[in-house]
Amino acid sequence: MKALVVCLDGMTGVLLAGPAVRAVAAGADHVTLLCGPRGADAAALLPGVDEVLVWDAPWEGVRPPTVEEADVDGLLRRLRDAAYDTALVLPTSAHGPLPIALLLRMARVHRIGAEGADLPATLVDVGHPRLPARHDAEAGLDLAAALGFAPRAGDDGRPRVLPAPDTTGLTGNGPYVVLHPGAGTAERRWDAGRAAGTVALLADAGHRVVVTGGPDESELCRRVSGGVAVDLGGRTDLRTLTGVVRAADIVVAADSGPAHLAAATGTPTVSTCSPPARAERRGPYGVPSVQLGDPAELTPQDVLRAVQKLTKDGPA
């Protein structure tokens, strides 16, 4: 059986899709994950994925492409040529399943499942209403089960990633706390001064700190590190960052992606909080975590208290 899992969300959504992907892989001969460009690097880290198909949907993201730029005809050709037996459409943070379900039907996918009630049978063969108070990781497994895919025996249903590289050469020896101050949007990004104060406070409390960030965050990481922390700004791709967060005691992150990456490696997290309902649905899953408030109001003392709480409570 050839199966297609569709998750057009960003890094967070793709990582939370991992448990459902593994369930599909337990019952399929070949699994393709169709994702958007924002989730492609994370998709390559998921166990159970045989192939990653990247497509920039004209309804996803802050600046979606036009229909012409998206090359819908090209996507349809690739899907038809692959001849998928079944497709599992996981919800994104902003849009429902019908646009992609229509394309899947046009591509002659035989059986399509998606989350939702009263979905048109002409587009969706199995519509599964979301159960109350379900996290996205759990809801994905529910949908997979509705399509007939159950996890392998012993699978705990937590997000996971492929084994990470040893990054001791970057971080140095000994325990440490990761601080990731950057974010994909300005409103989530931590103020550099407050983040630097957090590094200093954590160091004063006896924690060795490693600051991480993407290539466009090198200057931010340099300012935040302040000569106190190990500065890895711009020095890690996503796979290498996986090794850095896996070996950390705790990861403190302004953005949801690094927090979920840490959770997928089993590392406790401290992260800034979306509205409570969203945090319950899309917060770090399966590890001890503390959700903090608005990053504009976040103080170094708030972060230190959260780190101390996780240190005291220990692993789940």
Taking 60 as the threshold, does the pLDDT of residue 297 lie above it? Answer: yes
Strand order in the sheet with 111-115: 51-54, 30-35, 2-7, 86-89, 111-115, 126-128
Q: Is the domain of 238 the same as that of 306?
A: yes
Instruction: Say if 163 falls within a structural domain.
Output: no
CATH of the domain at 212: 3.40.50.2000
Distance between CA 279 and CA 67 in Å, rounded? Answer: 32
pLDDT at 96: 86
Distance between CA 223 and CA 25 in Å, rounded? Answer: 44
pLDDT at 184: 76
Number of structural domains in the chain: 2
Q: Is the domain of 55 the same as that of 177?
A: no
pLDDT at 315: 43
Calculate the dihedral angle through the C-alpha atoms of 34, 35, 41, 43, rounding to the nearest 10 degrees: -50
Indicate the range of 19-28, 59-68, 236-245, 263-272 predicted with least confidence.
59-68
CB 46 within 8 A of CB 162: yes
Instruction: Say if 162 falls within a structural domain.
Output: no
Alpha helices in 44-191 (DSSP H): 67-70, 72-82, 98-106, 136-146, 168-171
Instruction: Say if 64 falls within a structural domain.
Output: yes
pTM, two decimal places: 0.94
Distance between CA 180 and CA 198 in Å, rounded? Answer: 11
Name 269's bridge partners: 251, 289
For the ranges 90-99, 162-171, 183-192, the one whose mean pLDDT is highest: 162-171
Domain that residue 33 falls in: 2-146
What digits encode the pLDDT tens for the residues 187-238? Answer: 778 889 999 999 999 999 999 999 999 989 999 999 999 999 999 999 999 9
Taking 70 as the threshold, does the pLDDT of residue 141 lie above it? Answer: yes
Instruction: Say if 78 falls within a structural domain.
Output: yes
Instruction: Say if 45 falls within a structural domain.
Output: yes
Instruction: Say if 208 falls within a structural domain.
Output: yes
Distance between CA 303 and CA 100 in Å, rounded? Answer: 40
Q: Is the domain of 121 the same as that of 225?
A: no
pLDDT at 168: 97
What digits encode the pLDDT tens for the residues 10-47? Answer: 999 999 999 999 999 999 999 999 999 999 999 999 99
Q: Is the domain of 142 the same as that of 174?
A: no
Instruction: Say if 156 falls within a structural domain.
Output: no
